């Protein structure tokens, strides 16, 4: 039992890999066994994470369940894990979405073993980023998550999968180069990769040189390298165009994870690394970030409204929604230490969770209809509500969650961001209302073209209702959206304490 | 029972009914409507208990009911955002009419959707029922058929009712906004109830998006208010002179407004959307694409009333800095202008409409404009009063029009005549066919026109007119009086065309009265449409004033921190209101008393192009379609998607990729191939080696003696080198 408690994070982190390795020894022909084994493997970290959540103490300061072991002693990098409120929420999101994505992948019939193997590997990569308290470890997991997604898109994707996969990996790798550079610069200058130590020393460090460069330059380079790497991942406008392609071509479950968790890695990078390590620079450049966030909200929504491809529309909605995360982070950086900053950060983190749920749900539902019709062209649907009433109701519900309807999850987080950002970036917040308006427009456009109107006779009697398995995939997401919308306090309480501490710690540098 | 808890519980039954119908009982029509009506009944009961408790309380405005039970909804920083409920005089009277109208509409819906009738021959989910054939004595004849999505309807209106009850009992702007948006969703779902009809589908989207424009401003107003005051609770802001004064005295960064002015206007924008005020009025007339009970819900019980309620609720903020007389605050001025313009503008359109529901839709817009204008000139109590009376008579009129349409549809099914059962041109003479509908509709119509003394509408409208006149806002008074004249005129036109004279179609001749489940709610609502006005007879009213206490004024007026100047009752507004009501009614009857089948509207000729303009609603739909809608599509499809994302951004990315490919190509063709492969590879490394091999192979002659000789030479040379470099040194 001690082993379990002392190494809970390690267990959560590596059980997916263990599961993946086990898969390798199962017969490739027996698809059923492979599927169920993968599902079981993804449920283990889910169960463990529930235990983690139960034992997590929201009122404690700093990181909990910390594990530390030497890893590369020569360069002062260690295997250092820990969770606070933000990472706990992200871990929970990951372990909830992965089994659902695996279950959604039960329709995959080609090379199931490799597919499930990659999926489990992906889970470890994502969890590693959220759990790492060592910069180098963070980077390693960051890259680990990248590779499986590339193969998932390139091997199991749609017709333009090669273009999309290449764009995805090159773009993210481009960001990663900077991330690697910045990580090394920080490691060499500060003499450690340990984040808890870096939080204490890095913001104050302003003497010394690296390869003849003054400290200010080194810090500026490292700051911008971080910002760009994370901005690409979020993605912040105008670094977003890889996303519609990657999303559209990825297999359904890939899109679920991509939108649900992978995008959060970027935002998490801002929260975990940029804000605490660069409070001064963050404040200085927050205005730019807020502007880009507002542009992401506006052009993400407009881009979504302009689509005819259902999946592309949902993909653009991610840009729109993640814009609120960015706006919240920018407001928190600018108004550091104030109540506005705390509210904005609460909104940003909650938005990461709520968007993870609604976007995963929407992508899944696009997949459900795609598997039946083999088209994503909105103009080819129409009147499907009468054919698939349950699907119609579920789609309506999930779409409303995505729209930010009060009573469902998205509203609370968006309201908090707007409230937090309004006094800090009044103009950007006001302009982002244009985007919020078009959020309504594109959601209703999708519903109108899929569900409403006269039935396209082509589908008459050909579309079976949602299956039980499909229902099981979407139901937890719907329940969570509803619970978070009606009673957000249980999640917000955890988030609030952590972001209050982060905001307080940041304000100490001023 | 604990009053706080009871208020919390008011909205709950319809929500549970919604969930239960959707999840469990949707296959059983009877079970579904029983659940919905039972839930509405429970909420009605709780509302009545709360209402009468509230009426009996002293100083209710200062100490509203329900404020002791609050919960921490959002933990933020060191504190938390609390939500709770409260019933003060304003919410009490709103609760009263909401509970009644909702219950009546629910009951009526059972009949409207033909419960108990057979399933239609060709009915499909998503389309209105077309009728069923039943065999009576060997030959088939057509009867109305039951709505295929009957249960779904009751689920949705239950959610709608939940939204409205929540909105009324909540104690803060954030939960109000939530209920507000939930109602937005319900209106979307119900206007688009017959979703397979493209017109209904488009109307639903239009309603949701048009109101959303207002909601976005409101959201900003809410953020600003929360920032400025640190709370969104009504009592802490609106009943707190210190906070109001602070908001009124601090300058906002926009247009030289105070924060109170800016926030007031932003919040009022929410009302403009929700209550269909000019220029966001376009969605409401289309909203009648939904089933008629939905129109009654939207036009009376819920949606649009919620909008006006919001403005009344935030009147202390809107009027912050106003001393009860003299110059209006900028926010009040905005309300006065928007309200007055809307009142007249919509009334003119209503004159030229032929669809029975469309006339009512424009009359709603116009009457809402009345209330807003009243608020704008500071006639707080009058606005609230008109909201209440209007809810009763407008619910009545919509349900009545539904009953008429039902009767007409019956005639259409019977005669197989292909006419639009909603077009008043095909009606006439329904008085005798549908007596209950006629008499109740007459009561509603007279109330709408402000028929003196006996109808509720007269008292509330008179209050507004005298408020505008006595406050010295003559322009508002004149505009509203004109609108009142038009209102009486088009109401008389509607009643005359529908019920009086001779039937102008076969279908109208064979129309039949609706079932009791539909007419009974009409009777109940007609009762209120007559009597609801008698609780607010002003003391200064000649003759009648003071005979019964002006209860409404005393009860709701208590809400005000700043009272308007004591009304020195002038006879001008009273006489005006009598003249416009009676004159308009008489004129309308006189012009339309003798319209024949196929005859054009008598006004069409004298008004000429103006009539066409009115009939086409000033071409607002066309205008918005050509500008806003087209621009949105262009900016999203062409500008954002094609130009910005695919053109510029992807262009740059592809440019970088192409540059990378080009550089790679150059390196390969210009360096790798010539330098590495050919020069270094072919020439130096490979060529050199080959050459060396070719040269050295010459010494490999195969003769042993020569090898020995070479070996000896190498040994000697090596020995010499070793000797010289190592031994000697």
Based on the structure, what is the number of domains in chain A?
2
Q: Are residues B596 and B681 in the same domain?
A: no
Query: Six-digit token pair at A367?
Result: 């997949």
Q: Are residues B512 and B414 in the same domain?
A: yes
Is residue B437 a part of any domain in this protein?
Answer: yes
Is the CB of B644 less than 8 angstroms away from the CB of A299?
yes
Torsion angle, CA of A335/A341/A347/A352, rounded to 10 degrees? Answer: 70
* Contact B549/A at CB under 8 A: no
Q: Are residues A59 and A144 in the same domain?
A: yes
Collect all residues with Cβ–Cβ distance below 8 Å to A144 and sequence separation of at least 6: A121, A124, A125, A128
What would the pLDDT profile of A76-135 be if each residue is shown by its tens digit?
Answer: 889 999 999 999 999 999 999 999 999 999 998 888 999 999 999 999 999 999 999 999
Is residue B467 a part of any domain in this protein?
Answer: yes
- Give the A window 78-117 contacts with B, CB below 8 Å: none
- Give the B window 9-48 contacts with A, CB below 8 Å: 22
Query: Six-digit token pair at A16?
Result: 């997916």
CB A411 within 8 A of CB A488: no
Query: Six-digit token pair at B87?
Result: 């019933």
CA distance B223 to A422: 7
Is the CB of B640 less than 8 angstroms away from the CB of A303?
yes
Q: Are residues A175 and A114 in the same domain?
A: yes
- Give the A window 225-264 contacts with B, CB below 8 Å: 238, 240-241, 244
User: What's the predicted TM-score (pTM) here?
Assistant: 0.91
* Contact B8/A at CB under 8 A: no
First to last CA, chain B: 117
Helix (H, G, I), strand (E, B) or coil at B450: coil
pLDDT at A138: 94
CA distance B196 to A455: 7
Walking along chain B (729 residues) 10 residues at a time, the average pLDDT comes out as 85 94 89 92 94 88 86 88 91 93 93 86 84 79 85 93 94 93 92 91 92 93 92 90 88 85 93 91 89 87 90 91 81 93 93 90 92 91 91 92 90 84 87 90 92 87 88 89 93 91 86 89 92 84 78 84 60 88 91 84 86 87 87 89 88 88 87 78 78 79 79 86 77
Give backbone dihedrals phi and psi of B68, rounded to 5 degrees, phi first.
-80, -15
Element (H, E) at A128: helix A112-131
Q: Which chain A residues touch B178 with a CB distance below 8 Å?
A: 406-407, 411
Q: Are residues A4 and A116 in the same domain?
A: yes
Q: Which chain A residues touch B213 with a CB distance below 8 Å?
A: 437
Element (H, E) at B663: helix B650-666
Q: Which chain A residues touch B21 with a CB distance below 8 Å?
A: none
A vs B, Cβ pairs < 8 A, gives: 155
Is the CB of A416 less than 8 angstroms away from the CB of B76?
yes
Nearest residue on chain B to A346, alpha-carbon basis: B76
Q: Are residues A290 and A356 in the same domain?
A: yes
Task: Give the distance between the most distant pair of CA atoms in chain B.
Answer: 153
Q: Are residues A465 and A343 in the same domain?
A: yes
Q: Which chain A residues touch B182 with a CB distance below 8 Å?
A: 405-407
Is the CB of A241 less than 8 angstroms away from the CB of B653?
yes
Q: Which chain B residues touch A389 with a CB distance below 8 Å?
A: 125
What would the pLDDT profile of A386-395 be if each residue is shown by its tens digit?
Answer: 889 999 999 9
Total Cβ atoms within 10 A of residue B343: 30
Q: Are residues B572 and B637 in the same domain?
A: no
Q: Are residues B519 and B410 in the same domain?
A: yes
CA distance A485 to A412: 7
Which of A233, A257, A277 represents a domain boundary (last residue)? A277
CB B155 within 8 A of CB B32: yes
Q: Which residues pair with A209 in a beta bridge?
A: A214
Is the CB of B74 less than 8 angstroms away from the CB of A489?
yes
CA distance A252 to A242: 17
Q: Is B515 left (phi over 0), alpha (psi -120 to 50) or beta?
A: beta
Q: Which of A170, A304, A406 sits opposite B182 (nearest CB)?
A: A406
Is the CB of A302 less than 8 angstroms away from the CB of B635?
yes
Q: Are residues B470 and B509 in the same domain?
A: yes
Q: Which of A238, A339, A445 sits opposite B77 (nearest CB)?
A: A339
Nearest residue on chain B to A347, alpha-carbon basis: B76
Q: Are residues A291 and A369 in the same domain?
A: yes
Q: Are residues A253 and A314 in the same domain?
A: no
Is the CB of B640 less than 8 angstroms away from the CB of A306?
yes
Q: Are residues A343 and A457 in the same domain?
A: yes
Preceding peptide of A238 cis, ω within 30°: yes
Which of B580, B615, B650 represents a domain boundary (last residue)? B615
What would the pLDDT profile of A340-374 be if each residue is shown by its tens digit?
Answer: 999 999 999 999 999 999 999 999 999 999 999 99
Is the CB of A440 less than 8 angstroms away from the CB of B208?
yes
Q: Which of A167, A241, A492 sits opposite B645 (nearest CB)?
A: A241
**In the predicted model, is pLDDT for residue A264 greater than 90?**
yes
Which of A223, A252, A277 represents a domain boundary (last residue)? A277
Q: Which chain B residues touch A354 with a CB distance below 8 Å?
A: none
Is residue B129 a part of any domain in this protein?
Answer: no
Is the CB of B125 less than 8 angstroms away from the CB of A444?
no
Is the CB of A383 less than 8 angstroms away from the CB of B126?
yes
* Contact B651/A at CB under 8 A: no
Is the CB of A448 less than 8 angstroms away from the CB of B201?
yes
Is the CB of B182 less than 8 angstroms away from the CB of A433?
no
Q: Which chain B residues touch A448 with a CB distance below 8 Å?
A: 201-202, 205
Q: Are residues B166 and B288 in the same domain?
A: yes
Q: Which of B22, B201, B637 sits opposite A306 (nearest CB)?
A: B637
Is the CB of A436 less than 8 angstroms away from the CB of B185?
no
Q: Are residues B566 and B709 in the same domain?
A: no
Nearest residue on chain A to B634, alpha-carbon basis: A306
Is residue B553 a part of any domain in this protein?
Answer: yes
Is residue B132 a part of any domain in this protein?
Answer: no
Is residue B335 a part of any domain in this protein?
Answer: yes
* Contact B125/A at CB under 8 A: yes
- Give the A window 351-380 contacts with B, CB below 8 Å: none
Q: Are residues B297 and B437 in the same domain?
A: yes
Is the CB of B216 less than 8 angstroms away from the CB of A493?
no
Is residue B419 a part of any domain in this protein?
Answer: yes
Distance from CA of B653 to the nearest CA of A (A): 9
Helix (H, G, I), strand (E, B) or coil at B567: coil
Q: Are residues A19 and A153 in the same domain?
A: yes
Stretch A221-237: mean pLDDT, rounded? Answer: 91
Q: Are residues B670 and B598 in the same domain?
A: no
pLDDT at B1: 58
Q: Are residues B652 and B668 in the same domain?
A: yes
If we measure between CA atoms, which residue out of B195, B392, B416 comes closest to residue B305? Answer: B392
Q: The domain containing residue B727 runs over which residues?
A: 699-729
pLDDT at B562: 63
* Contact B380/A at CB under 8 A: no
What would the pLDDT profile of A27-74 be if each residue is shown by its tens digit?
Answer: 888 899 999 999 999 999 999 999 999 999 988 888 999 999 988 888
Q: Are residues A295 and A175 in the same domain?
A: no
Q: Are residues B690 and B703 in the same domain?
A: no
CA distance B698 to B51: 120
CA distance A133 to A67: 9
Which of A246, A277, A308 represents a domain boundary (last residue)? A277
Q: Are residues A268 and A306 in the same domain?
A: no
Q: Are residues A479 and A359 in the same domain?
A: yes
Q: Are residues B602 and B643 in the same domain?
A: no
CB B458 within 8 A of CB B452: yes
Q: Which of A393, A407, A493 sits opposite B182 (nearest CB)?
A: A407
CA distance A310 to B54: 52
First to last CA, chain A: 44
Q: Which chain A residues touch B633 with a CB distance below 8 Å?
A: 306
Q: The domain containing residue A398 runs over which residues?
A: 281-510
- Give the A window 302-321 contacts with B, CB below 8 Å: 302-307
If we measure between CA atoms, which residue out of B263, B290, B288 comes closest to residue B276? Answer: B288
Total Cβ atoms within 10 A of residue B111: 23
* Contact B641/A at CB under 8 A: yes
Based on the structure, what is the number of domains in chain B?
3
pLDDT at B295: 87
Is residue B125 a part of any domain in this protein?
Answer: no
Q: Which chain A residues touch B174 with a CB distance below 8 Å?
A: 415
């Amino acid at each position: 039992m001690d082993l379990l408690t002392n190494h809970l994070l390690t267990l959560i982190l590596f059980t997916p890999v263990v599961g993946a390795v086990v898969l390798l020894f199962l017969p490739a022909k027996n698809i059923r066994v492979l599927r169920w084994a993968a599902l079981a493997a993804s449920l283990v970290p889910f169960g463990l994470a529930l235990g983690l959540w139960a034992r997590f103490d929201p009122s404690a300061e700093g990181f909990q369940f910390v594990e530390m072991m030497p890893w590369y002693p020569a360069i002062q990098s260690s295997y250092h894990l820990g969770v606070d409120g933000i990472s706990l929420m992200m871990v929970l999101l990951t372990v909830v979405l992965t089994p659902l994505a695996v279950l959604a992948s039960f329709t995959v019939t080609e090379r199931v073993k490799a597919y499930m193997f990659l999926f489990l590997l992906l889970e470890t990569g994502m969890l590693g980023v959220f759990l790492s308290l060592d910069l180098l470890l963070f980077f390693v997991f960051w890259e680990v998550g990248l590779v499986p997604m590339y193969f998932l898109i390139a091997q199991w994707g749609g017709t333009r999968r090669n273009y999309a996969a290449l764009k995805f990996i090159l773009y993210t790798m481009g960001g990663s180069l900077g991330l690697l550079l910045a990580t090394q610069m920080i490691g060499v200058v500060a003499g450690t990769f340990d984040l808890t130590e870096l939080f204490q020393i890095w913001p104050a460090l302003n003497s010394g040189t690296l390869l003849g460069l003054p400290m200010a330059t080194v810090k500026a380079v490292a700051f911008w390298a971080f910002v760009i790497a994370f901005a690409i991942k979020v993605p912040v406008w105008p670094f977003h165009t890889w996303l519609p392609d990657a999303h559209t071509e990825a297999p359904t479950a890939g899109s679920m994870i991509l939108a649900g968790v992978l995008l959060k890695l970027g935002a998490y990078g801002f929260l975990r690394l940029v804000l605490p390590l660069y409070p001064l620079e963050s404040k200085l450049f927050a205005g730019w970030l807020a502007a880009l966030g507002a542009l992401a909200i506006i052009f993400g929504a407009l881009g979504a409204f302009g689509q005819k491809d259902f999946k592309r529309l949902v993909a653009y909605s991610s840009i729109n929604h993640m814009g609120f995360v960015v706006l919240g982070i920018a407001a928190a950086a600018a108004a550091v230490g104030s109540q506005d900053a705390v509210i904005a950060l609460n909104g940003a983190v909650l938005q990461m969770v709520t968007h993870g749920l609604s976007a995963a749900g929407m992508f899944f539902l696009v997949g459900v209809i795609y598997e039946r019709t083999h088209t994503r062209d909105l103009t080819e649907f129409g009147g499907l509500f009468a054919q698939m009433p349950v699907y119609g109701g579920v789609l309506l519900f999930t779409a409303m969650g995505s729209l930010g309807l009060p009573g469902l999850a998205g509203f609370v987080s968006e309201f908090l961001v707007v409230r937090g950002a309004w006094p800090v970036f009044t103009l950007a917040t006001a302009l982002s209302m244009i985007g919020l308006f078009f959020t309504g427009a594109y959601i209703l456009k999708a519903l109108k073209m899929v569900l409403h109107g006269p039935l396209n006779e082509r589908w008459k009697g050909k579309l079976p209702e949602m299956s039980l398995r499909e229902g099981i995939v979407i139901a937890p997401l719907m329940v969570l959206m509803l619970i978070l919308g009606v009673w957000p306090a249980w999640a917000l309480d955890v988030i609030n304490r952590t972001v209050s501490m982060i905001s307080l710690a940041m304000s100490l540098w001023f | 029972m604990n009053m706080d808890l009871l208020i919390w519980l008011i909205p709950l039954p319809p929500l549970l009914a919604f969930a239960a119908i959707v999840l469990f009982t949707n296959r059983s029509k009877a079970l579904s409507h029983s659940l919905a009506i039972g839930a509405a009944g429970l909420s009605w009961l709780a509302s009545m208990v709360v209402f009468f408790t509230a009426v009996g309380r002293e100083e209710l405005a200062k100490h509203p009911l329900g404020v002791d039970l609050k919960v921490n909804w959002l933990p933020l920083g060191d504190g938390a955002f609390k939500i709770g409920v409260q019933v003060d005089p304003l919410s009490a009277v709103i609760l009263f009419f909401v509970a009644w109208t909702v219950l009546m509409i629910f009951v009526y819906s059972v009949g409207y959707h033909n419960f108990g009738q057979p399933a239609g021959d060709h009915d499909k989910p998503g389309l209105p029922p077309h009728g069923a054939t039943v065999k009576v004595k060997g030959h088939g004849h057509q009867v109305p058929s039951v709505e295929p999505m009957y249960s779904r309807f009751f689920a949705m209106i239950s959610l709608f009712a939940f939204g409205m009850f929540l909105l009324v009992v909540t104690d803060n702007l954030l939960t109000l906004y939530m209920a507000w948006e939930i109602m937005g969703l319900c209106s979307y779902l119900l206007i688009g109830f017959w979703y397979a009809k493209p017109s209904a589908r488009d109307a639903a989207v239009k309603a949701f998006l048009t109101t959303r424009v207002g909601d976005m401003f409101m959201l900003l107003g809410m953020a600003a208010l929360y920032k400025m005051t640190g709370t969104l609770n009504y009592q802490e802001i609106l009943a707190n002179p210190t906070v109001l004064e602070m908001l009124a005295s601090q300058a906002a960064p926009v247009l030289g407004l105070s924060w109170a002015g800016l926030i007031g206007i932003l919040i009022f924008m929410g009302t403009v959307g929700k209550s269909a005020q000019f220029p966001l009025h376009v969605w409401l007339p289309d909203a009648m694409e939904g089933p008629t009970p939905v129109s009654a819900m939207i036009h009376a019980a819920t949606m649009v009333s919620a909008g006006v309620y919001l403005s009344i609720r935030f009147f202390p903020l809107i009027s912050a800095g106003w001393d009860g007389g003299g110059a209006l605050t900028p926010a009040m001025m905005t309300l006065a202008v928007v309200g007055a313009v809307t009142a007249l503008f919509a009334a003119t359109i209503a004159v030229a409409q032929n669809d029975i529901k469309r006339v009512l839709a424009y009359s709603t817009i116009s009457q809402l404009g009345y209330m807003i204008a009243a608020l704008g000139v500071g006639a707080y109590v009058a606005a609230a009063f008109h909201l209440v009376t209007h809810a009763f008579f407008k619910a009545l009129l919509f349900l009545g029009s539904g009953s008429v349409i039902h009767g007409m549809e019956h005639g259409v099914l019977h005669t197989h005549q292909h006419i639009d059962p909603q077009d008043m041109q095909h009606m006439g003479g329904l008085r005798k066919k549908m007596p209950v509908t006629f008499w109740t509709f007459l009561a509603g119509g007279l109330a709408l026109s402000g028929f003196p003394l006996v109808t509720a509408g007269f008292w509330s409208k008179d209050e507004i007119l005298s408020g505008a006149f006595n406050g010295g806002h003559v322009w508002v008074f004149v505009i509203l009086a004109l609108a009142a004249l038009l209102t009486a005129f088009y109401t008389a036109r509607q009643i005359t065309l529908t019920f009086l004279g001779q039937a102008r179609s076969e279908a109208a001749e064979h129309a039949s009265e609706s079932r009791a489940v539909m007419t009974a709610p009409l009777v109940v609502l007609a009762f209120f449409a007559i009597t609801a006005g008698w609780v607010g007879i002003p003391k200064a009213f000649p003759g009648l004033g003071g005979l019964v206490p002006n209860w409404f004024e005393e009860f709701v007026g208590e809400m005000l921190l700043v009272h308007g100047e004591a009304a020195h009752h002038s006879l001008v507004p009273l006489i005006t209101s009598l003249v416009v009501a009676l004159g308009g009614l008489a004129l309308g009857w006189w012009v339309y008393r003798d319209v024949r089948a196929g005859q054009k509207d008598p006004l069409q000729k004298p008004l000429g192009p103006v009539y066409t303009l009115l009939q086409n609603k000033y071409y607002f739909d066309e205008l918005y379609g050509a500008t806003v809608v087209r621009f949105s599509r262009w900016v999203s499809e062409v500008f954002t998607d094609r130009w910005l994302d695919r053109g510029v951004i992807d262009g740059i990315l592809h440019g970088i990729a192409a540059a990378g490919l080009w550089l790679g190509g150059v390196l390969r063709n210009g360096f790798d191939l010539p330098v590495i492969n050919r020069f270094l590879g072919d020439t130096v490394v490979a060529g050199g080696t080959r050459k060396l091999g070719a040269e050295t192979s010459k010494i490999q002659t195969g003769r042993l003696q020569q090898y020995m000789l070479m070996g000896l030479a190498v040994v000697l040379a090596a020995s010499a080198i070793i000797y010289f470099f190592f031994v000697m040194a």
